[in-house]
Structure 1
Amino acid sequence: MKTLRVVLAAGVLTAIAGTAFADEQIVKESAYGLPSYLDPVSVRAEVGTTGYGGAISYRVNPYVGVTLGYNGGDISWSDDLKIDGTKYDMDMDNNNTYLNAEIYPWGASQNAFARALYVAAGVAYLDNEYDLKKRVGNSSLVKVDGERFTTGPNQSAKIDGTMKYDNNISPYLGVGINAPVYKNIGLFGEMGAYYTGNPTVNLKTSGDDQILGQNGDRTLAQAVKDEEHNIANKSKYEWMPVAKVGVSFSF
């Protein structure tokens, strides 16, 4: 899987490099009397599932743009993460640097909405870590790896662990809209996914983790280890979804 990520990433980088030599350049005057080489440049602040940060974009021509950005930190759109039926309390730490080519299929359209739509393809360096915690109190029910486990009146258990996408070079594909709203101010939104390969995951149990599940053939500790194996191997965990919004300023 790592080889596939590298091959895809190399292909994307080659395509992005090609956009920098597009023939048709934007020609316009800066609204603020800034140097002409800044005319196609914009900056933006953004926030989303990969954290918060910013980016700088260069609009090669009406159909193509190139964006370099960074997202980091912890933005808790939700304080939990559901994996194979288990809802974990989550604490995230993001560190993402990305380079995207943005293709505007209707970049020269007279319709402002159509002109603002784009498809993004790129590559990123990802170094993300998610701390996962699950507390199972007295007489409580928890679902792990598709099986239900119930603690007794005097029993409790804990599941702790980490899930990491560390030092990954990952290709990206997304769609978005980058629309001016007032003079040189614009709003944008984007949704997509990184192909990361499976994360590195480590889960452990403590407390009354030898309780049997509803099927009677596994303990909670065994089910957690099975879930750990699934996360590290199932194809559905090879993709990291992305959703973000922001404000842009064009020179």
Structure 2
Amino acid sequence: MKLIKLTAVSAAILGSTAAMAADPIVVVDDNDTVAYPVAAPAYQYNQDAGIVRNTTGAVVGTTKTLFNTAINPAAVSAEIGTLGYGANIAWSMNETTELQAGWAGGDVSDIKDDFDVDDVEYKIKDADFSNPYLGVQMRPAANWFTVGAGIIVPDNDIDVEARGEGNTFNVGDVDYFSNEVGTLAGSIEHRNDLAPYLTVGFRPNISDRWGVFGEIGAAYMGKTDATVRAVGDATENVGYFNASGERVEPNESNVTRGDVAAQAERELEDKDWLEWFPIVKVGATYRF
């Protein structure tokens, strides 16, 4: 029993944040009295009696102190941007450097709904994004200006669709009639398993606990794998305008809808916008 009490008191002494005092702490255990020449917080130490009565409270208080110390530099953030909706947790190493771990994803088709590849406008029909990331946020001037860098582990599937502009599709610098090609439907997936990123931004504090932030930058996702097919009711062969501007009819053409889709697929895979994926995000931060 004495060993248990002595162990509890030792834990209380180590966890205490009170200043050291000259008066001893006395632990009374039946016939023995043990004196410790250190101080304890008021709720642990009875000044009049000179003894520690609440060793359980001391241990709980110590655990709470250690927990508060561990989470004190921590923060949580919520964000929305081109990588999707997400959140991250952060831990400050010092006043200018912060480590981050987060995730952004979901269906981003309502964040960005179209993009152009050469002269073809694609609409994002569905986008299933998953972008866990690890990074560091630095404040080079120890103010609101930030520079971020890290690694994303992308798993992004994008379904797109193009119907042409007006009556024609311009694919490979050739004009095809939209009603003969039909609809170009495709899917895109990034090849990189790891994507380094770099951002710059601002992170002003609006109170002791709350702050806001905005970032812009890019992630190198690498080349994309694309699949494009022509769907809908249309002829097998398609007509087009030749270099002289003369119309070549479908029954005189050796170009199929599949040929047009294959050319669109190659252009989609060569699109630089998908290789260097833009990062734009805004959000709010709560610091513990």
- Measured against the shorter chain, the TM-score band is 0.7 to 0.9
TM-score by length of 1: 0.74
| Alpha carbons of structure 1 residues 146 and 64: separation in structure 2 relative to 1, 3 Å | farther
1:213 counterpart (236, 240, 252):
240
TM-score by length of 2: 0.65
Residues 1:164 and 2:189 are matched in the alignment: yes
Displacement, 1:54? Answer: 0.2
| Alpha carbons of structure 1 residues 146 and 242: separation in structure 2 relative to 1, 3 Å | farther
8 Å Cα contact 2:88/2:102 also seen in 1: yes
1:106 counterpart (111, 121, 141):
141
Percent identical residues? 28
Displacement, 1:211? Answer: 2.1
Residues 1:231 and 2:257 are matched in the alignment: no
**What is the identity, as a one-letter code, of the residue corresponding to 1:102?**
Q
8 Å Cα contact 1:43/1:57 also seen in 2: yes
- Alignment match, 1:83: 117
- Alignment match, 2:77: 44
- Alignment match, 1:92: 127
8 Å Cα contact 2:213/2:282 also seen in 1: yes
8 Å Cα contact 1:213/1:219 also seen in 2: no
2:221 counterpart (196, 199, 203):
196
The equivalences for 1:38-187 within 5 A come to: 38-75=71-108, 76-90=110-124, 91-107=126-142, 115-135=143-163, 140-151=167-178, 155=180, 157-165=182-190, 168-187=193-212
**Unmatched 5+ stretches in structure 2:** 1-64, 243-247
**What is the identity, as a one-letter code, of the residue corresponding to 2:262?**
K
Alignment partners' CA distance in 1, 2:267 and 2:168: 21
Alignment partners' CA distance in 1, 2:177 and 2:258: 13
Q: State which structure, 1 or 2, has the greater radius of gyration over its C-alpha atoms.
A: 2
Displacement, 1:220? Answer: 5.2
Displacement, 1:233? Answer: 4.3
Displacement, 1:97? Answer: 0.3
What are the Cα deviations for residues 155-200 of structure 1, in whole angstroms up to 9, with x where unaligned?
5611111001267211111111111113311111111111111011
The equivalences for 1:13-24 within 5 A come to: none
Alignment partners' CA distance in 2, 1:50 and 1:151: 32
Displacement, 1:83? Answer: 1.8
**Unmatched 5+ stretches in structure 1:** 1-32, 108-114
SS of equivalent to 2:206: strand
Q: Which has the higher strand share?
A: 1
| Alpha carbons of structure 1 residues 98 and 181: separation in structure 2 relative to 1, 3 Å | same
* 77-86 or 178-187, larger mean C-alpha shift: 77-86
Displacement, 1:43? Answer: 0.4
8 Å Cα contact 1:165/1:196 also seen in 2: yes
* 80-89 or 50-59, larger mean C-alpha shift: 80-89
Alignment partners' CA distance in 2, 1:53 and 1:227: 32
| Alpha carbons of structure 1 residues 160 and 35: separation in structure 2 relative to 1, 3 Å | same
Alignment partners' CA distance in 2, 1:146 and 1:105: 47
Displacement, 1:234? Answer: 5.5
